[in-house]
Structure 1
Amino acid sequence: MSSSSELDGPRPNGDVQQLATSNPEHEKTALSRGLTTRHIQFIALGSAIGTGLFLGSAGAIQMAGPAVLLAYLASGAAVYMVMRALGEMSLRDPLKGGSFSRYAHEHLGSTVGFTMGWLFILEMLVVAMADVTAFATYLGRWFPAVPAWAWIVLAISLVTLLNMVHVKVFGETEFWLSTIKVLAVIAMIVAGIFILIFHLGSPTGAPTGVQNLWDHGGFAPNGIMGVLFSLTIVVFAFGGVETLGLASAEAKDPGKAVPRAIKTIPVRILLFYIGAVGVMLCLAPWSDITSETSPFVQIFDLVGLPAAADVLNFIVVTAAFSGLNGVTFSIGRMLHGLAELGDAPRRLAHTSGRGTPVAAILMVAVALGVVLVLGLIIPEGVFMMVASIASFATVFVWLLILASHIAMKRRIARGEIEQGPFPVPMWPFASWAAVLFIVGVIVLLGIDEPSRPALIVGAVTTALLVVIERLVRHRRASHQG
């Protein structure tokens, strides 16, 4: 258990590792290193390609028009800097693991580390609720007689088992699920280009071609504010890339796997998003792309693909299950990291003989069940207010990751700790630009009326977590004093 002095303020390098190793049962808390470079790359890639692209891109297009492509570029650049910051922190001392709350503990203090870790867990629980609900809903298209709760129980049971066996099983599962998603996006882009070349028509019957990028009110029909407000939707399409930081703790060769994933994944993500959305915008006027029907279904219909809706249904089911699988992994590893730091029950830090945090994963399964039951019994309006924490938490966690990295770089400059092997590019300008971008998105959440509840609920939740951490620290100090 941590002392009061350990919980006060930033710790010098090594103290966090000492906190984890000082327990006599440390050998039972070590995670397995079973993820290959291939696993790491597809975990990071798959976590950022989900239902937000397949079904949710229409909302951002309606806000910004074709200029939404600029919003994806800007968001992708900021996310790249977040990933580079995570990479530098994780590779500077790979033995500490990849729980980014640990970095906040070390460089910003225990209060920030505690708050970041639990805010991330709450965010992921809400995302899991959306994923498992989508899984049940879309399977209901094929099996209407099966109650939704049966699919939900099946999904939670499967991801729990997959995560409990061995991290390599999780990595292999994510590799194949992510491969399906990636192939679906590539197929959509190729089909769209085929339609454009052979003039097969558009999903809405309007003329096709690159002129659709500027013919209908201009490239930015709703002006600069439309582009800015679209960022409040676009940034969440990249949510989940933080999983890379958590997975790095279990890479067989983090020095090779993490840099390779970070250097290639952002480019691939941008290609997939820019390519897919760009093709959509060339196939139809932006004003005709609505959320009523997925653009993917419309495109597959045009090329004569039989049962286009069923194909998309399969892709979305896969994406939802992959998302739930990744969320279970992420929460389990974050709980494990928090437990090692004393910010969660110590029991959750224990691992099996295969190096899997079984207790933490079982806790995730219980939490998922509780969240889903609450979603059924709490009035929808109230629950949606609570669920909006995910919108705020995504960008706020990114901001704290960048802040932890900046604090670490300052300590390096003062000679307190050594520079790691994977420094961020264009330091400090690119890092501070990413910080300003994320702060701007948070401000936009408050300005934009539909997203304002996300900022309010998120800020209140963050404040409550700070108070809880202070109370826990005071209680520990009282018991030890």
Structure 2
Amino acid sequence: MQEESKILTQSEEENAEGLRRNLSNRHIQLIAIGGAIGTGLFMGSGKTISLAGPSIIFVYMIIGFMLFFVMRAMGELLLSNLEYKSFSDFAADLLGPWAGYFTGWTYWFCWVVTGIADVVAITAYAQFWFPGLSQWIASLLCVLVLLSLNLATVKMFGEMEFWFAMIKIVAIVGLIIAGLVMVLTHFQTPTGTVAAFSNLWNDGGFFPKGVSGFFAGFQIAVFAFVGIELVGTTAAETKDPQKSLPRAINAIPLRIIMFYVFSLIMIMSVTPWSHVVADKSPFVELFVLAGLPAAASIINFVVLTSAASSANSGVFSTSRMLFGLAQEGNAPKAFGKLSSRAVPSNGLTFSCICLLGGVVLIYLIPNVVTVFTLVTTVSAILFMFVWTIILCSYLVYRRKRPQLHEASIYKMPLGKIMCWVCMAFFAFVLVLLTLQDDTRQALMVTPLWFVILGIGYWLRSRSRRA
């Protein structure tokens, strides 16, 4: 294993000149925010509120709290060796080559699956303005735009993500301010209810659906946090990782409180939770109540850019993961080649071709909501696997390299204890996924991916021995 890790380090040194550190602190901060605010907040919050009531606020806080420690573990590991390009690298180094293989390919698949969901969503949002536009053309245009912009330079990706995230922030801050004004002026809604903070507890208390309703909220809320680890795939292209990564990770709790908690408090203060419609975006509903005639168009634009941001992040991270896998001999060599602009163009093109699977899904299964639920649940399960690998890598790092932990300037608080607490939490979420029919189906399908990976790894090991 030591010999393999030496080979890995040597291959990294040979390719160190490849990926360029073109992402500034400004880009990293907004990429981290973009990763923490998923499309699930805009579109899924209506369903989560109807399932859990005001207790959904605690659901988001608990998930955010747990994922903060996963990010801290990732941050300490990435900064312990600046030759690590992503968590796939430290997983291979600390847990063994199998972990790098499984993590890299699973993370690639995670983002392809999420990207397909995003392409399906973008196509649906585009129909709002262009009802006559064919779904095939809308999806194809979306993928081509993402491919062409990512092929330019890594700085172009940073700029795109910066502005996509800025749009999301402005929309959420606008909602919080609008909601606060309505509460302070005792705004009366068309249904006769008056906007007030007391709406949070007056309609059956904070747990109106009981413990079962509270638990049901976790299933959808986890997907809203998918992509929070994205900042870990930018490590090799960050100008000053020692400063930028800790800043981005440390700000996660504040962002979760501001963007998730405050926005949900305002939505349920203006409209009692029992009046929130599950299949509509509560963001649109609040702006409509505020008397903004263009609310539907504005929020449609925000949600479209949010989905585009997620797909853009997916295209970026999958190409970098394929680049790392190719360097380690776990993927075709073609994916390890860079263009003249230091971009892994072959990996980008391959990932974008896979995204077109979203177009096929639209035609195979007419019910987009069914596809979206299945796809997002599979994605959430696989992301939890990646987060667990990060925690397992941290535990091995603490055991095998205590000197690096002692020298670290960015130690994970309550290191070993919180690793076990977070893993127990992920196991608890998996148990919750068995409670609903649609999520149970996704849970039963997911092991097939690991069977395919296992066969692939066995064939790779056999060919290497031969």
Q: TM-score, normalised by structure 1?
A: 0.91
- Show CA shifts across 1:121-172 (max 9, x none): 2221121112112212112111122212222122111111111111111101
SS of 2:401's partner is helix
- Range with bigger deviation, 71-80 or 197-206: 197-206
- 1:4 counterpart residue number: none
Contact 1:65 1:222 in 2 (8 A): yes
- Give me the whole-angstrom Cα distance separating, in 1, the residues matched to 2:15 and 2:271: 59
TM-superposed deviation, 1:108: 1.4
Cα offset for 1:334?
0.9
Q: Are residues 206 and 457 of structure 1, via their aligned partners in 2, closer, same or farther at CA, if it must alter by over 3 Å?
A: same
Q: 1:300 to 1:379 in 2, by over 3 A?
A: closer
Where does 1:423-442 land on structure 2 (aligned, <5 Å)? 423-442=411-430
Residue 398 of structure 1 corresponds to which residue in structure 2?
387
Which string of whole-angstrom CA distances, capped at 9 and with x for unpartnered residues, describes residues 339-378 of structure 1? 1111111110111232211111111122212453355346
- Residue identity (%): 37
Conservation of the 8 A alpha-carbon contact between 1:48 and 1:241:
yes
Which residue type is aligned with residue 16 of structure 1? L
2:296 maps to what in 1? 309
Residue number among 225, 241, 257 corresponding to 1:270 in the alignment: 257
Mapping 1:334-349, distance limit 5 Å: 334-349=321-336
Moved more, 324-333 or 365-374: 365-374
**Equivalent of 2:10, from 9, 18, 43?**
18
- Residues 346, 270 of structure 1: CA spacing in aligned structure 2 closer, same or farther, 3 A cutoff? farther
- Report Cα offsets for 1:426-450 as digits up to 9, x if no partner: 2222232222211211222234443
Alpha-carbon distance in 2 for matches of 1:253, 1:416: 20
Moved more, 202-211 or 133-142: 202-211
CA 1:106–1:375 in structure 2 vs 1: closer, same or farther (change >3 Å)?
Answer: farther
User: How is 1:87-102 mapped onto 2 (pairs within 5 angstroms)?
Assistant: 87-98=75-86, 100-102=87-89
CA contact (8 A) 1:125 1:371 kept: no
Tell me which residue corresponds to 1:407: 396
Partner of 2:59: 71
Aligned residue number for residue 283 of structure 1 = 270
Instruction: Give the aligned length.
Output: 464
User: Is 1:462 matched with 2:456?
Assistant: no
Are the counterparts in 2 of residues 29 and 357 from structure 1 also a CA contact under 8 Å?
Answer: no
CA displacement 1:63-102 (0-9 Å, x = unmatched):
221111111111001111111111111111112212x112
How far apart in 2 are the matches of 1:63 and 1:372? Answer: 30
Matched with 2:231 is 244
Q: CA RMSD in A?
A: 2.3
Q: For 1:446, what is the secondary structure of its paired residue?
A: coil
Distance verdict in 2 for CA 1:318–1:379, change over 3 Å: closer
Letter in 2 for 1:257: S
Aligned to 2:112: 125
**1:428 alignment partner, SS class:** helix
Q: How does 1:50-449 map to 2 (within 5 A)?
A: 50-98=38-86, 100-202=87-189, 204-373=191-360, 375-377=362-364, 388-413=377-402, 419-449=407-437
- The answer on whether the counterparts of 2:47 and 2:279 sit within 8 Å (CA) in structure 1 is no
One-letter code of the match for 2:384? V
- Provide the secondary structure at the position in 2 that maps to 1:311: helix
Q: Say whether the 8 Å CA contact 1:10–1:109 is kept in structure 2.
A: no
Q: 1:244 to 1:371 in 2, by over 3 A?
A: same
- The verdict on how the C-alpha distance between 1:109 and 1:378 changes in structure 2, with shifts beyond 3 A counting, is farther
Name the CA shift for 1:11/1:318 in 2 (closer, same or farther; >3 Å). Answer: farther
CA distance in 2, matches of 1:34, 1:125: 25
> Partner of 2:194: helix, strand, or coil?
coil
Unaligned runs of 5+ in 1: 1-8
Separation in 1 of the partners of 2:233 and 2:6? 19
Mapping of residues 466-477 of structure 1, within 5 Å: 466-477=454-465
Decide which moves more: 202-211 or 452-461. Answer: 202-211
Structure 2: which 5+ runs fail to align?
none
| 1:191 aligned partner, one-letter code | A
- Contact 1:164/1:356 (CA < 8 Å) preserved in 2? yes
SS at match of 1:476: helix
* Distance change in 2, residues 1:261/1:304 (3 Å): same
SS at match of 2:131: coil
Residue equivalent to 1:3: none
CA distance in 1, matches of 2:254, 2:315: 26
SS in 1 for 2:251: helix
Greater shift after overlay, 456-465 or 236-245? 456-465
Given that 2:114 and 2:375 are in contact with CA atoms closer than 8 Å, whether structure 1 keeps it comes out as no
Residues 19/447 of structure 1: CA separation in 2 closer, same or farther (3 Å cut): farther
Amino acid paired to 1:311? I
Cα gap change, 1:76 to 1:204, in 2 (>3 Å): farther
Is contact 1:45-1:269 (8 Å) kept? no
| Cα pair 2:36 2:252 within 8 Å, conserved | no
Residue range with higher mean Cα deviation, 332-341 or 145-154: 145-154
* d(CA) in 2 for partners of 1:147, 1:448: 34
Shift in CA distance, 70/198, structure 1 to aligned 2, threshold 3 Å: same
Kindly provide the amino acid, as one letter, of the partner of residue 403 in structure 1.
C
Tell me the CA shift for residue 14 of structure 1: 4.7
| Deviation for aligned residue 1:201 | 2.0
Q: Give the counterpart letter for 1:176 in structure 2.
A: W
Change (3 A) 1:454 1:136: same
